[in-house]
């Protein structure tokens, strides 16, 4: 799909605005913009797509969930857009440190995923499918809801990170109602 910068900005603004209204109706403030799926992948590779997302972020005043070392992080850094980099707990990575997107997610061993996430957070590394250690930035962790054992994986990842954060006197931010 080919989208212009203006089209991306408009669609992200429209969807974010709708979501902000639903959240406000429940007394919750939206905390960030998270481009999803194909749009996220396109924004990693195409500067115009990342620019459109940045335009929407500036208009809403919201930070963005992004990815490191790509068009997104370059555009957001240059434009002063607040962002955090996401790590995918339940996906494999290639030798360039990019996530491998599958049409269907397979179940993953929760304990292995927890160790993978801990390593990504602690060392900034993950193992590629060919066995190479590749750099990653893990400021936000994603577990896909269509991973067959997603709830189990999310619980184990949360427990692992909670133990690590509490040991270092940091606190996990949990959204609260107004």
pLDDT of amino acid 177? 40
Model confidence, pTM: 0.86
pLDDT of amino acid 169? 52
Give the DSSP H/E element, type plus range, for residue 21: helix 5-25
% of the chain with per-residue pLDDT over 90:
80
pLDDT of amino acid 168? 55
Q: Is residue 111 classed exposed, middle or buried when 0-12, 13-18 and 19+ CB atoms within 10 A define those classes?
A: exposed
Q: Mean pLDDT, the chain, as a whole number?
A: 90
% of the chain with per-residue pLDDT over 70:
92
Block residue for tokens 């133990």: 163
Mean pLDDT of 74-94: 95
pLDDT of amino acid 1? 80
163-169 LR contacts (CB < 8 Å, sep 24+) = 164/118, 164/121, 164/122
pLDDT of amino acid 164? 73
- For 4-60, how does the pLDDT look when each residue is reduced to its tens digit (9 = 90+)? 999 999 999 999 999 999 999 999 999 999 999 889 999 999 999 999 999 999 999
- For 103-119, how does the pLDDT look when each residue is reduced to its tens digit (9 = 90+)? 888 899 999 999 999 99
- For 136-166, how does the pLDDT look when each residue is reduced to its tens digit (9 = 90+)? 999 999 999 999 999 999 999 999 998 876 6
Positive or negative torsion for Cα 86, 22, 53, 83 = negative
176 band by pLDDT with thresholds 50, 70 and 90:
very low
């Amino acid at each position: 799909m080919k989208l212009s910068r203006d089209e991306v900005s408009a669609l992200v603004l429209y969807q974010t605005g709708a979501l902000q209204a639903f959240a406000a109706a429940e007394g919750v403030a939206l905390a960030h913009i998270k481009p999803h799926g194909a749009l996220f992948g396109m924004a990693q590779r195409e500067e115009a797509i990342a620019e459109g997302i940045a335009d929407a972020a500036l208009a809403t005043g919201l930070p963005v969930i992004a990815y490191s070392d790509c068009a997104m992080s370059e555009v957001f850094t240059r434009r002063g857009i607040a962002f955090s980099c996401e790590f995918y707990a339940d996906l494999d990575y290639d030798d360039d440190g990019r996530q491998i997107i599958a049409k269907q997610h397979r179940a993953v061993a929760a304990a292995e995923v927890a160790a993978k996430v801990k390593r990504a957070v602690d060392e900034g590394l993950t193992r590629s499918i060919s066995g190479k250690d590749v750099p990653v930035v893990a400021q936000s962790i994603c577990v896909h809801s269509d991973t067959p054992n997603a709830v189990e994986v999310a619980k184990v990842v949360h427990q692992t990170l909670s133990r690590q954060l509490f040991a270092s006197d940091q606190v996990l931010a949990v959204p609260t109602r107004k």
